[in-house]
Amino acid sequence: MPHGGTGYTAGSAQDYDRAHALDVPQLFAFLRATQPEAFKKLALADANDARDINRLKFLARLSAEIGKRGVIDVLRKGVAHGPLHFDLFYGTPSPGNAKAEARHAQNRFSITRQLAYSMDETRRALDLCLFINGLPIATFELKNSLTKQTVEDAVEQYRRDRDPRERLFEFGRCVVHFAVDDSEVRMCTELRGKGSWFLPFNKGCNDGAGNPPNPHGLKTDYLWKEVLTPAGLTNILENYAQIVEEKDPRTGRKKRRQVWPRYHQLGVVRQALADVRAHGAGRRYLIQHSAGSGKSNSIAWLAHQLIGLKRDDQEVFDSVIVVTDRRLLDDQIQTTIKQFMQVGATVGHAERSGDLRKFIEEGKKIIVSTVQKFPFILDEIATEAARPSPSSSTRRTPARAARPRRR
């Protein structure tokens, strides 16, 4: 049963399979409940016997796929095992879809305390690890002022004591690592020993760093109460978290990077979406981002969620046009959007005025351009808006994302 009304169950450290980095009882309980026929075809003599050959083969297959594709992709798309296919997660159901709602309710969110993760040093343990259906999502090192330790100590513990060669800490196997005390939260998406890069995951306070006072408890309780609720975590995994490929312009070498949204990015995208959902198209917004605060990702996340936004069962926008002020940012946003959209065919790069009509006819949902080209594209918008739609007498207006402004 869910623990304390949070939607989470308490996991057991003894259930954790260190070799495959999986909570096997949680995984098998989910598969048995949601896909009983396929699970039966695994032909496990004893699902609890760690030496069962069919059990070992399946866990090895799943673990290999997580290692290759990353846990985010495996949760989204599932895994094939011989002729069988297994779903590993059921996402947010569309309104009115009772079957999808029932499936979504069967996801198993669990938290395990004092997780002994190491194959070699059995005493090494994480304070907490969060799992979905037995797959690891987030780890935590917790500190508090009573022990005179701070978030800095938690960060140092990750850098010094958490070997990135351990199975759980390999790239992509876990989505994010949190260092937390009673005042601050920091996060890292890839552990690299001393080179692990932790970013703030704070609300900010009086236009500065940190978190505001909380009259109801710890300054950092928003992490549990707002961000990592089952609904909040599901939303992040579906619409924000991603492994992206970046190409070094000098060497041409490709590098994979795991992305998790920062608190301010989640806030700005969710607030904008909520306002459009409430009031529809036509309102204006100014979002100020400081340098290095993740403009490209914020724009990409907002754009790809705006095109799916509905009011009264109708899509609000036919197209979203992203206008940027620098060519470098233009390329960066275009690449980011394509990777987050998963389907590059829905994204077009308008380099000349005629591109807009062409992209709309091709069904491009997101069109990226620079501000220098935009006056010509505005003429195209006027022409398109004046032309009657073949399917109806009215046409919805393309959404324009304001060009990024820096504070």
In degrees, rounded to 5, the angle at the alpha carbon of residue 237 between the alpha carbons of residues 234 and 241 is 150
165 within domain boundaries? yes
In degrees, rounded to 5, the angle at the alpha carbon of residue 399 between the alpha carbons of residues 264 and 325 is 65
Same domain? 143 vs 18: yes
Q: Which domain holds residue 193?
A: 8-208
**Main-chain dihedrals φ then ψ at residue 323, nearest 5 degrees:** -110, 125
Same domain? 140 vs 26: yes
What SS3 state is found at 111? Answer: strand
251 within domain boundaries? no
Instruction: Read off the tokens for 393.
Output: 């007498």
Q: How many domains does the chain have?
A: 2
Same domain? 174 vs 98: yes
CA separation for the pair 114, 352 (Å, rounded) = 58
Final residue in a domain of this structure, among 177, 208, 239: 208
Same domain? 112 vs 26: yes
CB neighbours (10 Å) of residue 145? 10
DSSP category for residue 3: B
Provide the angle, in degrees to the nearest 10, between the axes of the packed helices 374-386 and 354-361.
Answer: 50
140 within domain boundaries? yes
Residue count (the chain): 407
In contact, 131 and 169? CB cutoff 8 Å: no
316 within domain boundaries? yes
DSSP category for residue 342: S
Global model pTM greater than 0.85: yes
242 within domain boundaries? no
21 within domain boundaries? yes
Same domain? 277 vs 345: yes
CA-to-CA separations, 392 to 281, 387, 396, in angstroms, rounded: 18, 11, 10
* 185 closest CA partner among 161, 218, 159, 136: 218
2 within domain boundaries? no
**pLDDT tens-digit profile, the chain (407 residues):** 344 457 899 999 999 999 999 999 999 999 999 999 999 999 988 888 888 899 999 999 999 999 999 999 999 999 999 999 999 999 998 888 899 999 999 999 999 999 999 988 777 899 999 999 999 999 999 999 888 999 999 999 999 999 999 999 999 999 999 999 999 999 999 999 999 999 999 999 988 889 999 999 999 999 999 999 999 999 999 999 988 887 777 888 888 999 999 999 999 999 999 999 999 888 999 988 777 778 888 988 998 899 888 888 788 888 888 888 766 666 667 777 766 655 555 777 777 767 777 887 787 888 887 777 667 666 666 666 666 655 444 444 445 444 444 43
Same domain? 276 vs 374: yes
**Main-chain dihedrals φ then ψ at residue 128, nearest 5 degrees:** -145, 150
In contact, 71 and 167? CB cutoff 8 Å: no
348 within domain boundaries? yes
Which is it for the CA torsion 224, 227, 126, 116, positive or negative?
positive
Same domain? 187 vs 266: no
Check which CATH number belongs to the domain holding 333 and give it: 3.40.50.300
Same domain? 163 vs 271: no
CA separation for the pair 189, 243 (Å, rounded) = 10
CA separation for the pair 15, 115 (Å, rounded) = 10
302, burial (CB in 10 Å: exposed 0-12, middle 13-18, buried 19+)? buried
Helix (H) or strand (E) holding 347: strand 347-349
**Main-chain dihedrals φ then ψ at residue 191, nearest 5 degrees:** -80, 130
Same domain? 161 vs 277: no
Instruction: Read off the tokens for 18.
Output: 């260190």
Instruction: Read off the tokens for 170.
Output: 């390999």
Same domain? 46 vs 188: yes
Same domain? 171 vs 68: yes
Same domain? 203 vs 273: no
Final residue in a domain of this structure, among 208, 238, 272: 208
Amino acid type, 80: A
